[in-house]
Chain A
């Protein structure tokens, strides 16, 4: 299978090394043979479990529609798996030393598929809407956009604009590569509320244009003949090679897998991990691009009963056998967590020693803190049992099996976790803002690690995931240092300290690498690349004959 994927590396360049899974790692030495085999035409069918979020603005772009948007619309920059931003619609950019002003220089001759130019005015309109939303039409802002420090976008000329912020904003450029930061024609931004979901009125400047669609069922795209402004990261020019891409919803994961095996689809998103081995033996490729962000794991609410105690948090940290989780639920495509950041995040360190599986240590910590095993093995202190509800994340399909293993592991050291599996609305009602829930699962991708500074405290609208408010001096200092950084290297050093502190204190219980987007596909598909958040770009892709 390695040979099947040999051409893959040529087009992706350096970023490819971070792709997970031995079977999918291309051999750089073989890469040069591929260029001649590019084939024009071909029809790719892509199966996915949902297209439910609609086609509106900003947060309406979710994991699934984001994949479709990636082919219809362009972005200002492409962010690779290492978090490096490279040129796309923004050919280059200048930043001032304070990181408060950015001048974007746009590619010339780019048009949206409705014929209007993609110029500085259109980009400014897009950025404004990302930053502010439009509550008069029920449109929220773009979640990860640094809105709190955003000042304005001013058009300098047709191809140049200046974006300014009130405080240092290192994360601005990487955020432009976010899957929701898609550039749309001005007419699409200004649609009335009852038209926002009409995909035929949403125009992008991407390599594919809409041919037909059915709401929450399918989207058929055809290549745009005059397209010639792909990202620099893709070694291809002119129109896309694929003639047509069909995105089709097939809700059941096992049916998606069977359809792929039966040759009824070329690419399938998210197959249950335990089915991957069978698919591989049928000669199919498993592509597991690592995405920038947090790993799978639990954020600890220190206000929850018993979890204000350091010994309890540390006992949980060491009671979890991360290797067993990987072996039971996942495959070798996944790696056990070594910190709470995905390993391709440049600032991620290796803190495996703080996460070592050591149930004896957990028992000792609990014994010393006065938690004694009760009659049924569950530990008791002052008449209180060491038990809590563990809610599986409704957004991550592998959350339930992982939590089943975690529950078994905690039980062995005398901690009783009761697994609760609920839908999104129940989850929001029971878990959000509930200080009785000690472990909250997190699944979040980001393109810039500055986000980490924002979760530590509640200063400046921070998310305060550990619920210390601003009472923890160490966290206050670290959050401030991350927020005010103007230099990536200095910030990286601070982030190392953040990781050590948070893991030592048992505030974040990481489990395994997070692969939210896993692609199983025919080995004939070549030349696609993935963004740092594991979203595919099929502009440079082709299907071998």
Chain B
């Protein structure tokens, strides 16, 4: 492969990525602006205040919310492209600061959830191969399907009621503690672990049916070596691909988990902003998510041609149809 087509491919992909981010920003802006009313009225027309709409008109005008939508969009876009995310209408704080404050907690949660879900998935997968078939396997193999059918907020509420309040293992007043993060990660990671476990089990079963597996077994390899070398290793390649897909889901799913566990983060930031129509914050989070998504995909796109194309094809063929949330 010569360099120049790769470079021009890269340039066109980067250009497309920029277009996607700008389109996502514009689409969100337009959706938000469908609703009549504005955050200032929402705040000030609380019946406790006794304001008339005429009285708050100058304040709405101060924030430029009385302008026509295209003009507002143009102003917002031209600030966005130079990195100015504006000021939160609700809290009067710079949006960039709010997002940066919220990000570490969400990233910690997502990373822990990923670790938890991988651990759970491999445990379940191991048990599915090595427990006595009649007794344990059926039960173990049912776990992924069942956990995919349980609404995630039920899991969260259950974990808090039992482990925080009954056993006192963590305090919901300090949600960033290790134990609190761990349980939030379990709630968030459970559906992801179920998806990974399903894929793993399917692949492990596939490997177990292969001829070389029977040969290896007849050579008297230990159970663990057999599992590790001949079943798990060839089965884990698709897991790598699934992890990349799961990252987006974990970041998105943090909305509910953060709300239940009282964590500060991107999810709670969005929820607060959506309920108060805090446009600048909503737009910032949506465009941040879009940038991350596009960047990850761009990276993958640019790296793939450099990798062995045969490996890529092999991986793709190995992923059986994913279930439930992977598709969402």
Contacts and interface: CB of A to CB of B under 8 A. Distances in A.
A232 interface: no
Contacts of A63: 48
B160 A264 contact: no
Given A47-B173, A215-B101, A428 B93 contact: no
Interface string A50-66: 00111110011011000
A258 B165 contact: yes
Nearest to A265: B173
Nearest to A263: B168
Nearest to B275: A423
A428 B91 contact: no
Nearest to B94: A194
B212 interface: no
Given A259-B172, A423-B275, A425-B42, A432 B50 contact: no
A262 B162 CA distance: 11
Contact of A194 (B36, B93, B172): B93
Interface stretch (B8-16, B53-61, B132-140, B247-255): B53-61
A289 B306 CA distance: 70
B218 interface: no
A454 B50 contact: yes
B85 to A, nearest CB: 11
A428 B272 contact: no
Contacts of B272: 52, 216
Interface string B40-69: 011111111111110110110011000000
A255 B172 contact: yes
A135 B50 contact: no
B91 A140 contact: no
Contacts of B173: 45, 47, 246, 248, 250, 259, 264-265
Interface residues of B, number: 52
A424 B37 CA distance: 10
A144 B49 contact: yes
Given A138-B59, A251-B259, A262 B164 contact: yes
B97 to A, nearest CB: 8
Interface stretch (B17-25, B199-207, B260-268, B291-299): B260-268
Contact of A264 (B43, B91, B171, B259): B171
Interface string B269-304: 100100111000000000000000000000000000
A139 to B, nearest CB: 8
Contacts of A135: 58-59, 62
Interface stretch (A11-19, A401-409, A438-446): A438-446
Nearest to A195: B92
A218 to B, nearest CB: 8
A255 B260 CA distance: 8
A197 B94 CA distance: 9
Given A54-B90, A217-B264, A425-B37, A255 B160 contact: yes
Contacts of B43: 53, 59-60
A433 B157 CA distance: 40
Contacts of A264: 164-165, 171-173
A377 interface: no
A142 B62 CA distance: 17
Classify chain A: how many residues form its interface, as a range: 35 or more
B52 A463 contact: yes
Contacts of A442: 47
Nearest to B54: A461
A62 B88 CA distance: 17
A196 B90 contact: no
Contact of B91 (A54, A62, A425, A426): A54
Contact of A429 (B35, B164, B259): B35
A424 B42 contact: yes
A290 to B, nearest CB: 16
Contacts of B46: 59, 62, 395
Contacts of A47: 173
Contact of B165 (A54, A140, A259): A259
B161 interface: yes
A225 B269 CA distance: 35
B87 A194 contact: yes
Which 5 residue pairs are nearest across A and B when measured between Cβ atoms?
A143-B49, A197-B92, A54-B91, A138-B62, A217-B264
Given A198-B93, A251-B259, A259-B164, 10 more contacts: A140-B44, A215-B93, A216-B91, A217-B264, A251-B262, A258-B160, A264-B172, A426-B37, A429-B35, A454-B50
22 contacts: A53-B43, A56-B91, A63-B48, A135-B58, A138-B59, A140-B51, A195-B92, A217-B264, A218-B264, A248-B262, A250-B172, A255-B157, A259-B164, A259-B165, A264-B165, A393-B47, A395-B48, A424-B276, A425-B37, A442-B47, A444-B50, A451-B50
Interface of B: 35-37, 39, 41-53, 55-56, 58-59, 62-63, 87-88, 90-94, 98, 101, 157, 160-161, 164-166, 168, 171-173, 259-260, 262, 264, 268-269, 272, 275-277
